[in-house]
Amino acid sequence: MKRYITVAGNIGVGKSTLVRLLCDRLGWTPFYEPEAENPYLADFYRDMAAWGFHSQIFFLATRLQIHRAILRCPDSVIQDRSVYEDAEVFAANLRRRDGISERDYATYRALYQGVAEFLPPPDLVIYLQASPDTLMQRIAQRDRDYERDIRRDYLEGLDQLYEGWIDGFTLCPVLTVPADQLNYVAHPIHLDLIARKIQEKLSGKDVVVFEPDELAQI
């Protein structure tokens, strides 16, 4: 049976890495962040309020194209960040920071909600939950040019929106992974534990959590 999983979480939490490792282990097909360059970014950074709407519409269109490609793919897939996060976290954060006008944001939300209603949801969302301290540390370690100016308060704002989104997400089951305590890159046993919890969740088990004694053993 085909399965569709999406991995969600804040910047620097390790989504792409987990997607790669899980797909290597399970033999599934990965779908990563869009590679297409946003043609509005230069204008957006010059004047966020004027170009925030255009930029978010581009991201929304790209995410919808990926969602369609996932549905057409015959294999089980794992996705790095979903269309839901773009709207519920990043677009919402942009509105908080006055990077998009209230009128444009309302139009964006109406478009997103109208389209999202017809999207078949994933079978499972894996939410990588980590503190801002962990995120800052991991961002520094990977040392990407475009991430060097990311501020802690920006990550904290995204974290608040992520927590609120996950708390109210009902389209499919959610597996919350304590990413502060698990390093699945350095320790294969951590990946083993996550893979086992995923299978438990996909098998229909109602409550799947990472128990303190399990984390202590690894």
Q: Annotated active-site positions, please?
A: 80
Given a contact cutoff of 8 angstroms between Cβ atoms, the answer to whether 158 and 10 are in contact is yes
Residue 33's pLDDT band (boundaries 50, 70, 90)?
confident
Burial class of residue 112 in the structure, from the number of CB atoms within 10 Å of its CB (0-12 exposed, 13-18 middle, 19+ buried): buried
Strands (E), the chain: 4-9, 29-31, 77-80, 124-129, 174-178
pLDDT in tens, 103-113: 999 999 999 99
pLDDT of residue 202: 92
Torsion of CA 191, 19, 143, 35, to 10 degrees: 170
| CATH architecture classification, 4-217 | 3-Layer(aba) Sandwich (3.40)
Residue 182 pLDDT > 80, yes or no? yes
Question: What pLDDT is stored for residue 35 in this prediction?
Answer: 61
Pairing between β-strand 4-9 and β-strand 77-80 as defined by DSSP bridges: parallel
Q: What is the largest distance, in Å, between two alpha-carbon atoms of the chain? A: 52
pLDDT reported for residue 44? 82
pLDDT class for 216, splitting at 50, 70, 90?
Answer: low
Mean pLDDT on 40-69 = 88
- The residue ranges of DSSP E strands in 68-206, in sequence order, are 77-80, 124-129, 174-178
Q: Angle, to 10 degrees, between the axis of helix 152-168 and the axis of helix 132-142?
A: 120
Angle between helical axes of 48-72 and 102-116 (0-180°, round to 10) = 10
Q: Structure tokens of 111?
A: 């478009």
Residue whose tokens read 């951590």? 190
| pLDDT per position as a tens digit, 72-81 | 999 999 999 9
Alpha carbon distances (Å) from 188 to 57, 134, 193, 213: 39, 19, 9, 18
For residue 213, name the pLDDT band (cuts at 50, 70, 90).
low
pLDDT at 218 over 70: no
> 148 is written with which tokens?
């060097």
pLDDT-derived band at 183, boundaries 50, 70, 90:
confident
Cα–chain center distance at 166: 11
Token duo for residue 82:
């979903």
